[in-house]
Every structure is written in structure tokens, then in C-alpha cells.
Structure 1
Amino acid sequence: MTLKILIFSIIFMLGCNKSLNIKKNFSLNKKQIEKTIYHWNYFIKNAANKYHVDEKLIKSIIYVESSGNPFAKSTSNAIGLMQIKPSTAGVDIYRLNGKKGQPSIQELYNPKININIGTSYINLLQKKNLIGIKNKEILRYATIVSYVNGTSALLKIFSKNKSTAIKMINTMTKKTFFQYINKHPSKQASNYLKKVIKIYNLI
């Protein structure tokens, strides 16, 4: 266990509930990315193996969402490394595990719990919400957009009917899917997709 993880563990045991809205330091330098993510590699690897999720995808989302800052908090109450919203993704994963309610803010500031919930949510997107998309790279793109914007918002730009939307996606190449996403959803989702893909291709 690294010193940084040990320090965070002590903070959590002491019941620290302060939220720090620290500005993200976003860089497209491979060494900087690896240095930033390094402290969370153990938790990322375990979660990736547990939920059968691409490790590079988890790292890319963490870097874009929080720049590796476990105390990051957005104005929309997205919390921690993977910027989990307690009332949306948090509720979904709690329900999936047979739990009531939603994760607490203090839980989501815990890197291990945050990464576990975020990775479980990616698995939910891929194995349930986006099931039927055949091309693995397109599925990755669709997962990224769904992570930031929601599955419904993604699929409705293709069709109001989920099955029809999936069929339409399956007729596309990676390039045409990317172009379609770039034209139709919100600018935020499109920019987010580009950032995550850039990081994914670097690491």
C-alpha cells in the first residue's frame, strides 16, 4: 500500500467529510497520466477483474473525470475519482446489489468504493443497457457517452425504440458512429468522448 493510500485510509477512519472542489489538472502527457493514476492501480485492477471491464477504460474515465483527485466534487454533486452521482449511478448499483438507498458522500470519497461502484456501473451499461452492440470499439464509445450522458440520451438520437437504435448502431462503422455522435448529442458528451478516447489511446 502506498503512503498516499494509507493517508487517505486514515482520513476516512477519522470520519473526514470535507469535500474539496479542487481544479482538475488535465494533461495529455503519457508519463503524467501514469503518475496520476498510479496510486489507484491496485483498486482499478481488482475492479476490472471483478466486473470484467477494460482496465484502460476505467483509467481513462478516472483521469478525465477527476484527474485522479479522490476528493473531486462537481457542481452537480458527482463525487470522487469516477465522479459518481449518489442519486443516479449510486442508486443503480445499490439496487443491483440488493441494497436500499444510495451510497453516502463519505463512501464515495473512498477510492476503493468509488472505483468499485464506477466499474460496476460500466459493467451495467455494457452488459444490460447497451447489450446487443456487436462491435467492441463502438460499444466502448457508446459506454463512454452513456457514462457521462445516460443510456437513454444516447439511444434516443438513433431511435426512440431501444431495439431499433441498437440495430442502427450495428450498421455503422466506428468512424460513422463517432461522426454521428459528434453531430447529435450535447457538446459536453461529444467533447467528453474525444477526451476519453485520447487518453485511452495514450495509456
Structure 2
Amino acid sequence: MIFLRYENWKGYIKYYPITTILLAANVIMFIVLVFNGGSENPYTLIKFGALANIPPLNEEVWRLFASMFLHSGFSHLFFNCFALLVFAPPLERLLGWWKYAFLYVASGFIGNLITQGYYNNLSSAAFSVGASGAIYGVYGAFLYIAIFQRNKMDEASRKVMYTILGFGIIFSLGVANINLVAHFGGLIAGFFIYGLLIRLFKQKHR
């Protein structure tokens, strides 16, 4: 079962350095938000990089990256960090640190880019933050593995992956204020980016 974590904290940092850095970045930025007006304050979120459909903010490219490290409220941070902590490490070991980092950031960027395009067509003001697009990119990569590289994922892990995606889709559709566009954008991006990476670069067996 690849999604069970047995490492102590030293082993975790050693084997999954990029995931550790991403977790630290999310927590640090959350603390910054808390001490600068609050993590649920829209003005604070926009100041530090939230996506927004308000000109000229909707033309600032840096927000497509910055917003994936911001979270609105502790529960938002907790659930995203938990998903990253538990489910991302096997992908980092499989791809290697830089390809994994590229997939994570690129998936989040594409999810946010699609979100920005959607928001720009809304008649009311809207903003978005969170790592969900990038995390769904990780899920997208595992979905590719579950379908096309079955030898790299045991049956129990495959069932867990399908269950996570099923609940994620239901949650995204059924809960208000969830950025459904970023979720599906990141998922599709991660699926195709992973497929591209394994074709462009010879995979190392770990």
C-alpha cells in the first residue's frame, strides 16, 4: 500500500524534500496571513496573491503561482496539507524531485489559469486561493498510473485512489465555495503532464 506513511520526521524530510518544502511554504504563508489581517480576510488574501477577476489584478501572472500557497481558514489549510503529506510522497519518489516539482507547480498553474479565465467571464467579483489544483494534479498523475502503469500500483492503493477521486468529485460538486474549475483543471493537467514526462525522460526504478 503506497499511501501508508511509515517514516519518522527525519526520514520523511530525507526522502521527500520537495513535499516537505511545499508543506512548509503552505504553513508559513498561512502564518503570514494570520498576522496581516487574517487568513479569511479577502483584502489580505488579495494583497498576498489571491486570484481575482477585478482589473488589473486579473492580469497579474504572479497570482497564478502565489495563490496556490494561500489558504482561507485553518480547515482549508489542514485538508490540503493532509492530502499533500500522505498522498504526494510516492509520486516524488517515482518521478524524482524536479519532475515532481514541475508537475505539482504546472498543474496548480494550469488549474489557476483555467479558473482565472472562468472568473473573468463572471458578472460578480470572485477570488480564489488554495493548493487544490496542484494536489489534484498529483491525483491526476496517480490516475494515469492506475490506468496505464498498473504494475507500479498495487490493487489496494488503486482502490484508495479511485475512492479519493470519487469523494473529491462529490465534495467538489456538493459543497459551496469549492473551486471546482481548479480541481478538474489540475486533475486533467496532472494526468497529461505525467504522461508527457515519462515519455520525455527515462524513468528510474525506485
TM-score, shorter chain, exceeding 0.5: no
> Which of the pair is proportionally richer in helix?
2
- The alignment's TM-score, normalised by the length of structure 1, stands at 0.30
Higher relative CO (Cα under 8 Å, sequence separation at least 6) belongs to 2
Superposition TM-score, scaled by structure 2 size: 0.30
